[in-house]
Structure 1
Amino acid sequence: MSARNTTEFDAIGIRLASPERIREWSFGEVKKPETINYRTLRPERDGLFCERIFGTTKDWECYCGKFKSIRYKGVICDRCGVEVTHSKVRRERMGHVELAAPVAHIWYYRSVPSRMGLLLNMTVNQLKSILYYEKYVVIEGADSGRERGELIDEDEFYEFLDEYGDKFIAMIGGDAVKELLGTIEIDTEIRDIRQKIQEKTKISDRRILKRLEVLESLKESGNRPEWMMLDVCPVIPPELRPMVQLDGGRFATSDLNDLYRRVINRNNRLKRLLALKAPEIIVRNEKRMLQESVDALFDNSRRKRSVKGKGNRPLKSLSDMLKGKTGRFRQNLLGKRVDYSGRSVIVIGPHLKMHQMGLPKKMALELFKPFIMKRLVDLELAPNIKSAKKKVEQEEKEVFEALDEVIKEHPVLLNRAPTLHRLGIQGFIPVLVEGKAIKLHPLVCHAFNADFDGDQMAIHVPLSPRAQLEAWMLMLAPHNLLNPANGSPIVGPSQDMVLGLFLVTSQFDGDKGEGKYFGSLDEVRYAIDKGVVGLRSRISVLHDDKLIQTTPGRMFFNAILPDGYEYVNQTVNDKVMNRIIAESYDRFGAPATVIMLDEMKQLGFHFATRFAPSIAVSDIKVSPRKKSYIDSANKEVESVNKAHRSGVITNEERYKKVIDIWTKTNEQITDSMMEELKKDQEGYNPIWVMADSGARGSKQQIRQLAGMRGLMAKPSGDIIELAIRSNFREGLGVLEFFISTHGARKGLADTALKTADAGYLTRRLVDIAQDCIITLEDCGTSDGIDLEAVKDGDKVIISLGDRVFGRTVASDVVDPVSKDVVIQANTMVTREMIARINGLGIDKVHVRSPLTCTQRHGICGKCYGMDLARLKTVELGEATGIIAAQSIGQPGTQLTMRTFHVGGVATNVKIKESEHKLGYQAIIDEVAGSMVKNRDGDQVFVTRGNLKLTRISQIMEVDKIMNLRVEPGQSVLAGEIIAGGYDGQEKQITSQNGGTVEIEGNQLYFREESSVIPLKVGTVLRVGAGDFTAAGQVLAEFDPHNDLVLADEKGTVSFHDLEEGKNLRRDDQGQFRVIEFRQAKLTPRIVIGKMEYHLPVNSILSVKDKDKVEAGDILFKISLESEKARDITGGLPRVEELFEARRPKDACTLAEVDGQVEDNNEIVKEKRILYLVPEDPDLERVKVSIPVQQRLRVRDGDTVKQGEQLDEGGFDPHDILRVRGIHALHDYLITEIQEVYRLQGVHISEKHIEVIVR
């Protein structure tokens, strides 16, 4: 290890060292295991700290003291043999140990795949049995019939030895492996393998390819295989494995010294045994122990039984020193501790401006010390740096004056761990404060995810002018108002500020001075000071020359909004406030918004103090109707249990129904409780005000206080059917308390385990996306993806405008009615355009996307669109991949914490509806699927069907319309005039929502958007094609808990391959259920006439053998998965699964072509064979095989579209890509990932997901 300039290098490599190389590095052999003489405390000669080998411990002095002083530099003492030099050499000089037997390097034989094993064509266990002296390996087989490299045991070895004498050679231990490795001809081996690969078309054995890889890399690097066996063991410099004396005379030593000591002891003992010609068995045992000790030295954690030190702690070996988060690389080389930094607890600083933070004087002195010292010298207050330092340490008066000068306009960076996204570090201008805590501006807490319950923050000082400039221009808090994940404001009032603003802008009927008139804000202020008028009373004021009705509080609030912002005449809650901030940023820019935010903060705190709301137990109002709701729920549960006992329903159905009943009851109680709270104290019940304003608390939390605590989840995620009927106001019973502990513990355990997962997810995302950088302004592609509004049924969750915001339009957006171009291609969608897109009723927009960008490296600016953190076109060089990874990973970590706060209450449990209803009028266009009439005379579906319907509005009678201005088939926009009058009244009639005009008979109506309701088997239809349906009318009824299979025709049931005791089991209620039976090959099915119905595992039979059935009777049912409490535990792994595109356990099969299903009840090797007959007669029919236990979604004669599911199961992303193409895959991944985050109420811009998916 020559002392070259080690600071300049590009990379570090790890490679094999030959024994010669190790001896070349070494300055001498370590022969004794001793370290330090306990009397003289000097290193022992030839020991692990020997000065002759590793260099002197005292600068410029030899061991015996004959030569002292720098003038003897380089002299080697003739008495003690120590060179006179720096003591620093003890950090770089290495030693070595000559091993008495060759030893395998653990990295090369124990790692997977074992490199030695690949070279010798052996498994790890075979290698181990040679190295640990269990089996012999044949070197020369003579005529024994044994090949070179074969393993034989001891008895065989002696047999062959007697028979063939010296011709037969077999060896054992490290020598044997070294011999085998030494004779490998690398070039010849590579040639042979390549020839083999050319002869075989398909390589079945992956090991051959791996072996080729290892051989080729050995050839390239010029290393020899036998170097994997060590004859010499290197000893690292003593200063890197120090030994220090503690108080009390004991020594603390590095674990490596213990490990080296074991190696040397065993090696010396082995040498002695060999010299004494000890019996083979003893020598072997010693060699095995030597191998073990060298293994432990190199990599202790890789062995099954690692070597333990004091207190049963595994010792840290050489590999452990480098490995993982606390190893050399990640801890010391990539992450160093920083000078000019400090950390302290944070407290709130309500008086600070947005760009300021309060810096304790003590910290400021330490952080800015060198700056202050220079300043003192410049001002000639101190003669030199040394005395300046003294002054600073004594905290003299002039020091603080210099400090004030120094920190002026010198930004500092604040960071709160964990830094999950880029807003976790922001710049501020320091303001000196007393005390020892950092003061933080209350509005930036959300970005740091900080609160004041003892959080700590770190502070860093940027030193160079360039660093300071960057902190000023890019990192200063007022420049970071928006969340890069979705472009919405991340700074905004919270908690007490929201409460204050909500109270001051609300209106209180009968407040003092109601109905008075004022000319200006100043008059109102004066009246308030004099106590003539209340802050919440309704008054009339001149505003912009118009008389408006408002309240004094609202006037104060409007006074802080930027000039030109419309008068906000409503009660302001957190949603309104966020809207105001976003609009202000859009219209007036960041500086005006920052001023407004600071004023909002002042106002909020001021009025929260003025109104001083308080909270008491008496404010928690329990609904008087709670008891009646609970009684009726208990009755329902009892009747469900009775039905189960008499065998009408299965246990799963009973469980699900009970959960439905309690969920419904909980909703009723919650609603009635919220009503009570709202009415209480004239609408100013403190709890209601807190929740309504959005300051703190949610419906869920108030429900636990005053409603009923509801259903709890078990640690497994299943829901406990015993609901907790009490709330915290009434107090829980003993059993209820016990059930609650489940959830509380689950919350804590989840938080501990999942935070690490979320952090790891972010790291992996960063790892794959870090090269996604904006490298070009426009790649010029017109390709893109189609976006449409996200709907759940017919409810719009995210409007089209919101989805395309900040994207570049790929092709012109055209008004569907007038065909005018609304937005030209290659234009970025801004906030103003959103309303136009939503208003025009456009179905979908074709936008550019990172997925379709043609740029090879990175992404182009147009495909990426807007930089959401600045709402401007993204700049070249922006690290979009990392921003995307942070935006997805950061909520992941937040979501984990969320479980912990709710305390395990099963939220998100949906009530299972058993009817299809619509909230609007509609016309049924078409009913698809095959139906039969059942015993009750109702139409039921025997296959899956669809109900196509169109929403309609404004039904009018044609003969009452005066002066009709539209004709059938015409498209009308919302607000367009359609007639001059109606029913004798001459008044212009406008269209409410727009749509297409239809006239049928005497009725005129507007058709709006169409939708399709999928219907499952067994659905009873209550309407027909062409029917008009009213809002709330039942269209169809179905069983929400089971999938049913019905008889297509009347006939007699006959069971095939169903045998009780084998694949049929009878439960306590006398119901038969199909179970898995592996012994015999049975394909259980029910046959009626020509129809065969296959029974999947877990089917519950509703008929018996030889029963007579009518068409539409239930033959068997399959219970659907019961709802689990969905929390983030389900969320994060789901996100990972999607990003990694894993294949689900039982993936469904997709139809490869459009066509008709042909099912001939063919079964081959536990798989059902279906055929798809394409519509195109020239194409061949496609054969599909589906595992027998999977439930089919189609049956003989159904028509399917390409990409449709043929059986039940999860989607495999690979199949979607293959069958439906890249756009479908994109839609699937984004919808699924967004679904996870949306459940938790987190909004992430889709482009981030696209960047990662790319």
Structure 2
Amino acid sequence: MHSNNLDTSKDFSSITIGLASPEKILQRSYGEVLKPETINYRSYKPEKDGLFCEKIFGPVKDYECHCGKYKGIRYRGIICDRCGVEVTRKKVRRERMGHITLAVPVVHIWYLRSIPSKLSYLAGKSTKDLERVIYYEMFMVVEPGNSGLKKFELIDEDEYLEIESQFGYLGVSDEDRDNENYFYAAMGGEAMKEMLSRINILDLKAELVEIVKTSKSKQKRGDALKRLKVVQSFVPDLSKKRLNKPEWMIVSILPVIPPELRPLVPLEGGRFAASDLNDLYRRIIIRNNRLKQLMEIKAPDVILRNEKRMLQEAVDALFDNNRRKTAIRSGSRRPLKSLSDMLRGKTGRFRQNLLGKRVDYSGRSVIVVGPDLKLHECGMPKNMALELFKPHMIHELMSRGYTQTPRSAKLMVENREPVVYKVLEYVVRDHPVLLNRAPTLHRLGIQAFQPVLVDGKAIQLHPLVCSAFNADFDGDQMAVHLPLSLEAQMECRMLMLSSHNILHPANGQPIAVPSQDMVLGCYYLTRPKEGDKGQGKMFGSIQEGLIAYENKAVGLHAEVHLKYKGHWVKKTTVGRIIFNSILPDEVDFVNKIIDKKELTKVVNNAYLISGNYKTVLFLDRLKDLGFGMATLSGASIAISDVLIPSEKKGILEKAQATVDDIKNKFDRHILTDGERYNKVIDVWTRASTDMAITMMGALEIDRGGFNPVYMMADSGARGSQDQIKQLAGMRGLMAKPQKSMKGGVGEIIESPITSNFKEGLSVFEYFISTHGARKGLADTALKTADAGYLTRRLVDVAQDVVTYITDCGTINGIVISDLKEGEEIIEPLSDRILGRTILDDFIVKGEVVVKSGSVLSDSDAELIGDSGVQNVRIRSILTCEAKRGCCAKCYGWDLSTHELVDIGTAVGIRAAQSIGEPGTQLTLRTFHIGGTATRIIEQSEMVNKRSGIVKFSDNYDSADTIDETGTNVTRCMVRHAKLLIVDEDGKQNASFNVPYGSTVFVKDGELVDAKTPLIKWDPYTDIILARETGL
């Protein structure tokens, strides 16, 4: 039994996982577990023959047997004659396995319940039928004898008793008995084992191959192919040392895993912390021992059958407690954690311990803002640095001669002697560290920084990298990792340093853009103020303007004129002169109010014109200016800053009157309930939108546009029109908590909250609010998991797409045009083709402007977009002909560098992160709106954007009629008609669908100006129009 020397050689090329035979399990085992006991509750020593037995699994203490006869390393390898324990190291309790010999064979739940069911495919029977046999409900015919039944047919108990009496062992002649020609049926694992051992795998394979080749039924061929896949895995293959027998799916000898992998730890107060596996094993042993006793005393079949079923269920629970219909639970009603649960999912062995591990040289702490840091720096607490860099410190202290031994150097560090901090400054210099914030949703979730030693215990983070990490300073924590090898440090410095990651890899837009206070500061700085001190002055240079401001000769918001690079900039402000003074020299003068969007454009422009280095310096100057000006503005929020519009009453009364009219129509059966509901919701959504627009208009003129609440929303620093609407307008419609929003009836509560937070809500309104607010919180918790799972699945399908070669040489591609919704361009052609490889020469006036095969730069894309061409053929990874992954030319630019993608870039994973990361962010942001219902008003009219001549499609037909208000109108009488706007040359400028029954305001051939209403319709009413008058 103890001669199982495991082969631990490392010279192998592949691992094959196969079924373990009962002989293999016995060979691996060190002894049989006979008793359900674990440890003695008085002595805390393992019980003999129990689940923790020292004789089977090895000693609890190093080189000491159970009874204490042999103690010490000199007795190593001796087996105690008194207690039978081998004197060896206690480590073996992590490796040695035991076994339980089961009284009856038991089916392994993995091969029965997993999808597809291996047993079901092999036997050619449904899983339900097999379950009836395995759980002792029906008999399976193993040998039909002369009964006339088919082999492996299922019969119930009454049939069995009847046939057994006639054709069974006792009912047949002696000759049939000698020839084993008698009826035999069985139940449970025994029946399954008999059946599987009688299957001839090679014959079954040949039979299935024949069906696949000859059968005309698609269903039969499909089923045979599925079965063949399972059968193939049981065909012996000596070249691969593969031998799997079907009957090994039935367990007759159950392995018991080493005790250290299912520990039982005594706690104070006489209680124990135990692994669930011990409970599951105990249950099996108790039932197995009871079954053996019942079999010995020849108990009735009914009792035995019940006991066997219970044993089968106990083994099922051990292997996979979740696959059973009712999981076995602990005393606290919690399902016990089975062997499968230890492997499965996020906390299982694979994902928790093998794919992701805890690492040395790491620490974590709360983050605080470090406004004085440069973009590539982070503030690291001195104590954390001492701990992280301890080995480096010990080496440096010894090499400088402060100490001779590592031990004394370690003591110096631990005692925090003054010289240590001097050495620490040297060690930390030029050694980058990695900062990571969980959840790491995309590659910018881990970035490298140069540490700057700081006092205190919190890590300081540069404000501009917050958006990449999605970090804020409300108690977020971050982990620090130390790159050790020279290659790792090099990678950190060259690729991962935050100053090299200022563009978002998903869309190429800057991500290190100032936000919140900094945006507010820049907005305040660049906003003009009528009649400010020094208005109308002229300055010959930026310096002149700055000197005038510093000497208080001119106000910050005064409109002035400036000579810049030889040209006069008319109507700028002193604030804008200050803003432009920090821009890189190559960038043109920016004479606009700088809000969040404009700031992104400025940073992007600076990056394209001046390059990475100058942009990083500019970003740090921008951060300092933004914070400085936000402080100077003294912007704060008071209740008096939130203005309720005077038109509110009128808007509400008008909306209420419309709703009353809709209700009246419904009462007269003119409208259905669905139409009434949608119209009411639409009216209130419109009223809410009007209120918001009116309110923002009132805020804009308050204090000459310097109302703090308005500045915050308008600049994009914080808050939105929707949130201010709830403060000063009306809360609006609230959402009903529902699992999925499909746009149906009843998803929005139709009585709106007409009060706002400044006025205060009534009890009823507050009660309605709670609905939506709770929905927001629940969504945040539940949908985040869904979004995370989506990212995992996306990574799973895309992870093999890597750029392996530069050019695959394909001549295929895809056609790209403007991305439109109706007539509105969502993404123009120039944006969609930027950084892609063009397939055909682009010719303007007979001259090749862009050659085929070239990667389109910003200027190329703009030129193609401005030329008015409708579509362009470009190369795509969908048509790439690379043998593995894709090629760089078909992929195009790496958006984070604006260069052709490098060979070896994992573009598939990047694509998965680019979709998954915003998805997760959206679910986390739900609860900021507080559950108010957001619904886009259904489009009900078409207005042309360019002037031109009206032209209808050939199938268009109309009729003149009178509408409900008594007005003469023209109605469209056909479905799928189109209205086109063409220019004088006949070139189409726009195209609109004309819905059936819509009111048409224009005639064929009519010349219309821009912004002319063309068609109008009711999106919620389906009307049927009569072509002729009559009864």
State TM-score, norm by structure 2. 0.93
The residue number in structure 1 matching 2:977 is 946
Cα distance, 1:20 vs. partner? Answer: 0.7
**Partner SS, residue 473 of structure 2:** coil
8 Å contact kept, 2:961–2:970 = no
Displacement of 1:951 in angstroms is 5.0
Matched, 1:133 2:133: no
Deviation, 1:935, is: 5.6
SS at match of 2:234: helix
Map of 1:898 onto structure 2: 925
Q: Secondary structure at the match of 1:712?
A: strand
1:876 is aligned to 2:923: no
1:145 is aligned to 2:148: yes
Percent identical: 51
Q: How does 1:602-751 map to 2 (within 5 A)?
A: 602-716=624-738, 717=741, 718-751=747-780
SS of residue in 2 equivalent to 1:312:
coil
Deviations 1:1115-1159 (A, max 9, x none): xxxxxxxxxxxxxxxxxxxxxxxxxxxxxxxxxxxxxxxxxxxxx
Partner of 1:1023: 1002
Q: Which among 569, 591, 599 is matched to residue 613 of structure 2? A: 591
Deviations 1:1192-1230 (A, max 9, x none): xxxxxxxxxxxxxxxxxxxxxxxxxxxxxxxxxxxxxxx
Work out which of the residue numbers 126, 139, 143 in structure 2 matches 1:123: 126
Match of 2:864 in 1: 837
**Preserved contact between residue 483 and residue 489 of structure 1 (Cα < 8 Å):** yes
**Alpha-carbon spacing, 1:1011–1:511, altered in 2? closer, same or farther (3 Å):** closer
Letter of the 1:883 partner, please give it: R
The one-letter code matched in structure 2 to 1:260 is Y
Query: Deviation string for 1:505-560 (max 9, x for gaps)?
Result: 22222222334455555554444344333222234455435554543322221121
Task: Write out per-residue CA displacement over residues 674-705 of structure 1, whole angstroms, 9 at most, x where no aligned residue.
Answer: 22111111221111111222211222222222
Say whether residues 1:195 and 2:224 are aligned partners. no
Bigger mean CA deviation after superposition, 195-204 or 879-888: 195-204
Cα distance, 1:263–1:555 mapped onto 2, change above 3 Å = same
State whether residues 782 and 811 of structure 1, in contact with CA within 8 Å, keep that contact through their aligned partners in structure 2: no
* SS at structure 2 position matched to 1:507: coil
**Pairs within 5 Å for 1:1097-1108:** 1108=1030
Question: Would you say the 8 A contact 2:398–2:406 is kept in 1?
Answer: yes
Question: Which residue, 225, 242, 246 being the options, matches 1:209?
Answer: 225
Give 1 or 2: higher strand fraction: 1
1:938 Cα offset (Å): 6.2
Corresponding position: 1:389 with 2:410: yes
**Gap regions ≥5 residues in structure 2:** 173-181, 237-241, 742-746, 963-967
Shifted more, 31-40 versus 452-461: the winner is 31-40
1:565 aligns with 2:565: no
Query: Do the aligned partners of residues 934 and 532 (structure 1) sit closer, same or farther apart at CA in structure 2, a change above 3 Å counting?
Result: closer
1:421-432 equivalences in 2 (<5 Å): 421-432=442-453
User: Separation in 2 of the partners of 1:88 and 1:898?
Assistant: 50
Aligned AA (1:848)? R
Rounded Cα–Cα distance in structure 2 between residues aligned with 1:267 and 1:949: 83
Post-superposition CA distance 1:107-129 (Å, at most 9, x none): 12232333223222332332232
Quote the Cα distance in structure 1 between the aligned partners of 2:772 and 2:43. 63
Q: What residue is the counterpart of 1:334 in the other structure?
A: 355
Could you tell me whether the CA contact under 8 Å between 1:927 and 1:945 is conserved in 2? no
User: In structure 1, what is the equivalent of residue 175 of structure 2?
Assistant: none
1:926 maps to a residue whose letter is F
Shift in Å, 1:369: 1.2
Q: 1:520 to 1:125 in 2, by over 3 A?
A: closer
CA contact 2:950–2:1004 (8 Å) conserved in 1: yes
**Residues 471-486 of structure 1 mapped to structure 2, 5 A cutoff:** 471-486=492-507
Q: For 1:543 and 1:1027, locate their aligned partners in 2 and report how far apart those are by CA, in whole Å.
A: 49
Task: Spell out, residue by residue over 1:31-50, the C-alpha distance to the aligned partner (whole angstroms, 9 max, x if none).
Answer: 22222223332222222222
Give the direction of change, closer, same or farther, for the CA distance of 1:1016–1:568 in structure 2 (3 Å limit): closer
Greater CA drift, 540-549 or 375-384: 540-549
3-state secondary structure, aligned to 1:618: helix
Structure 1 pair 537–92 and aligned structure 2 pair: CA distance change class (3 A): same
- Aligned counterpart for 2:989 among listed residues 1006, 1010, 1034: 1010
Equivalent residue of 1:301, what SS?
coil
One-letter amino acid of the structure 2 residue matched with residue 624 of structure 1: S
Give the counterpart letter for 1:860 in structure 2.
C
Shift of 1:236: 1.2
Counterpart amino acid of 2:1002?
A: V
Q: Structure 1 counterpart of 2:807, which letter?
A: D
Match of 1:887 among 908, 914, 925: 914
- The Cα shift of 1:660 comes to 2.5
- The equivalences for 1:848-867 within 5 A come to 848-867=875-894
Provide closer, same or farther for how the CA distance between residues 708 and 938 of structure 1 changes in structure 2, counting only shifts above 3 A: closer
Alignment CA distance shift 1:148-1:939 (3 Å): same
| SS of structure 2 residue aligned to 1:302 | coil
Candidates 48, 52, 56, aligned match of 2:51: 48
Report deviation, 1:8. Answer: 7.0
The answer on 1:84 being equivalent to 2:66 is no
Partner of 2:177: none
**Is 2:587–2:610's contact at 8 Å kept on the other side of the alignment?**
no
Question: Could you say if the C-alpha distance between residues 394 and 8 of structure 1 is closer, same or farther in structure 2, counting changes exceeding 3 Å?
Answer: farther
Q: After superposition, what is the alpha-carbon deviation per residue over 1:923-955, rounded to whole angstroms, capped at 9, x for unaligned?
A: 123343252546658654432243443355xxx
Q: Is it true that 1:916 corresponds to 2:895 in the alignment? A: no
Q: Deviations over 1:1234-1253 (max 9, x none)?
A: xxxxxxxxxxxxxxxxxxxx
Q: Does 1:21 align with 2:24?
A: yes
Tell me: CA distance 1:1044–1:821, structure 2 relative to 1, closer, same or farther (3 Å).
farther
Equivalent residue of 1:532, what SS? coil
- Is 1:810 the counterpart of 2:812? The answer is no
CA distance in 2, matches of 1:655, 1:260: 60
Q: Which moved more, 1:466-475 or 1:851-860?
A: 851-860
Deviation at 1:810? 1.0
| Preserved contact between residue 27 and residue 95 of structure 1 (Cα < 8 Å) | yes
Q: AA paired with 1:564?
A: E
User: Aligned letter for 1:1018?
Assistant: G
Q: CA deviation at 1:848?
A: 1.4
Query: Does the alignment pair 1:238 with 2:252?
Result: no
Output one character per residue of 1:638-689: Cα deviation in whole Å (capped at 9) or x when no partner: 1221122122222222222222222222232222212211111122111111
Whether 1:409 and 2:430 are equivalent positions in the alignment is yes
- Shift in Å, 1:606: 0.9
2:383 and 2:457 in contact (8 A); partners too = yes
2:820 & 2:289 partners in 1: Cα distance? 78
Q: Residues 314-335 of structure 1: CA distance to partner in whole angstroms, max 9, x if unpaired?
A: 2211111111111111111111
Residues 595-648 of structure 1 deviation map (CA, whole Å, 9 limit, x = unaligned): 000000011111111121122111111111111121122112212211221222
Q: Secondary structure at the match of 1:723?
A: strand
Unpaired segments ≥5 residues, structure 1: 953-997, 999-1005, 1051-1107, 1110-1254
- 2:168 equivalent to 1:168: no
Preserved contact between residue 956 and residue 977 of structure 2 (Cα < 8 Å): no
Match among 235, 256, 265 for residue 219 of structure 1 = 235
Question: In 2, distance between residues paired with 1:525 and 1:1022?
Answer: 57
Counterpart residue number, 2:37: 34
Taking only aligned residues, the RMSD between alpha carbons, in angstroms, comes to 2.2
- Amino acid of the structure 1 residue aligned with 2:673: N
Structure 2 residue aligned with 1:1039:
1018
**CA 1:653–1:428: 2 relative to 1, 3 Å:** same
Cα displacement (A) at 1:244: 1.5
Equivalent AA in structure 1 for residue 1006 of structure 2:
D
Q: Comparing 1028-1037 with 369-378, which one deviates more in the overlay?
A: 1028-1037
SS in 2 for 1:1042: coil
1:794 Cα deviation (Å)?
3.6
1:444-463 paired onto structure 2 within 5 Å? 444-463=465-484
3-state SS in 2 of match to 1:1024 = coil
CA distance in 2, matches of 1:1007, 1:677: 47
Amino acid at match of 1:147: K
In the alignment, structure 1 residue 928 sits paired with structure 2 residue 954: yes
